Amino acid sequence: MKVVLVDAGGSNIGSVRYALQRLGVDAELTGDAQAIRDADRVILPGVGAAAVCMARLKELGLVDVLRTLDTPLLGVCVGVQLLFAHSEEDDTPCLGLLPGQVRKLAVSTGIRVPHMGWNTLQRTRDASLLDGIADGDHAYFVHSYAAPVDDDCLCSSDHGQRFAAVVQRGNVAGAQFHPERSGAVGARLLKNFIEYGLQ
């Protein structure tokens, strides 16, 4: 089983890699197109701004590689936002593997943005990626932008509004929360992705 982490420049890459090592998986960090194509599982992490991450992918020549990948692909944090068609953040065109637009979370009374901390997951449909993760389990979030709750949403969460916490369409999936900081829930999501792919 060859697992690679796409070097999109996110500051959480080291912690995601360590979370995988705890599962017995030594994931290669790479910006090499052929290494990504040859992998059995591909993880796209990211922290910071969508525009910066997309610029990094363009610089490495990886945009079309990711768009045409047949291998199971998991986006994490900003990585999941890059899977969508567009992000409101800096008006950024993204990979377009999932339809829809990532939008900024709305500030309201008692609701601070960025959304930081533990929050509950509400399952919206079954998938192997969620095996062992129950409705009401908690995950750790740090984000200001989020994807919509639509037919591709496996789990939602709420921070003044509902947003997609886990998404999947075919061989493309993503988690808005940080699995590497979400304890047993995050470890289970990564384990499911490694073991099952995206059936």
Query: For 50, which DSSP code?
Result: H
Confidence of residue 26 (pLDDT cuts 50, 70, 90): very high
Instruction: Give residue-wise pLDDT tens across range 62-103.
Output: 999 999 999 999 999 999 999 999 999 999 999 999 999 999
The average pLDDT across 139-155 equals: 95
Contacts of 87 (CB under 8 A, 6+ apart): 50, 51, 81, 94, 101, 102, 145
Confidence of residue 13 (pLDDT cuts 50, 70, 90): confident
Cα–Cα distance, 43 to 45 (Å, whole number): 6
Asked if 174 and 76 count as a contact pair (C-beta separation under 8 A), the reply is yes
Cα–Cα distance, 182 to 94 (Å, whole number): 26
Question: Which of helix, strand or coil describes residue 124?
Answer: coil
Output the pLDDT for position 10. 61
Question: Which of helix, strand or coil describes residue 189?
Answer: helix
Helix axes 13-22, 183-196, angle to 10 degrees: 80
Output the pLDDT for position 34. 97
User: Can you give the three-state secondary structure of 127-187, one letter per residue?
Assistant: CHHHCCCCCCCEEEEEECEECCCCCCEEEEEECCCEEEEEEEECCEEEECCCHHHCHHHHH
Domain of residue 119, CATH code? 3.40.50.880
- Token pair 């705890």 is at which residue? 22
pTM of the model: 0.95
The average pLDDT across 105-115 equals: 88
Catalytic residues: 77, 178, 180
| Total count of domains within the chain | 1
Q: Which domain holds residue 172?
A: 3-196
Residue 28, φ and ψ in degrees, nearest 5? -80, 130
Q: Are strands 84-87 and 98-104 parallel, antiparallel or unpaired?
A: parallel
